[in-house]
């Protein structure tokens, strides 16, 4: 069945780089897009960015200068890298599959990332 699982450090120091991995199973990255969505504590959901089935990417314009999304199709993994982290980047980070590139039909459980010294 379709599954997504995020992994990465729970704590990152301010100004450092966040690296997250989303490992997927049950579907192919070359046929589906995978997106990152984040949720600050007690707040709503924010779309972060996406990597499409062909390998192209799209980013939230507010984060674009700090963000990179890539993938390794042989390992069924999608990677998120965000630099110059600030406390406002503290959030749960989810990876999710977008069916047809539209709505998010499967989600990972999320990984909590805290930016703090």
Partner 1 sequence: DVQMTQSPSNLAASPGESVSINCKASKSISKYLAWYQQKPGKANKLLIYSGSTLQSGTPSRFSGSGSGTDFTLTIRNLEPEDFGLYYCQQHNEYPYTFGAGTKLELK
Q: How far is CA 45 from CA 34, 55, 81, in A?
A: 16, 24, 19
Q: How far is CA 65 from CA 81, 84, 86, in A?
A: 11, 10, 14
Among 10, 41, 44, 54, binds partner 1 (CB under 8 A): 44
Give least dist CB 47 to partner 1, A: 5
Binding mask 80-99 for partner 1 (x = CB under 8 A): --------------x-x--x
3-state secondary structure of 73: helix
Instruction: Name the one residue in this structure whose structure tokens are 């997504």.
Output: 4
65 binds partner 1 (CB under 8 A): no
Among the listed ranges 10-18, 20-28, 37-45, 76-84, the one in contact with partner 1 (CB under 8 A) is: 37-45
112 binds partner 1 (CB under 8 A): no
């Amino acid at each position: 069945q379709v599954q997504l699982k995020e992994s990465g450090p729970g704590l990152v120091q301010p100004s450092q780089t966040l690296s997250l991995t989303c490992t997927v199973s049950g579907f192919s990255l070359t046929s589906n897009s995978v997106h990152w969505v984040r949720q600050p504590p007690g707040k709503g959901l924010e779309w972060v960015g996406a990597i499409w089935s062909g390998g192209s990417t799209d980013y939230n314009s507010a984060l674009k200068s700090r963000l990179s999304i890539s993938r390794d199709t042989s390992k069924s993994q999608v990677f998120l890298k965000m630099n110059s982290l600030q406390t406002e980047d503290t959030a749960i980070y989810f990876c999710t599959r977008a069916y047809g590139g539209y709505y998010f039909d499967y989600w990972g459980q999320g990984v909590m990332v805290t930016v703090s010294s």
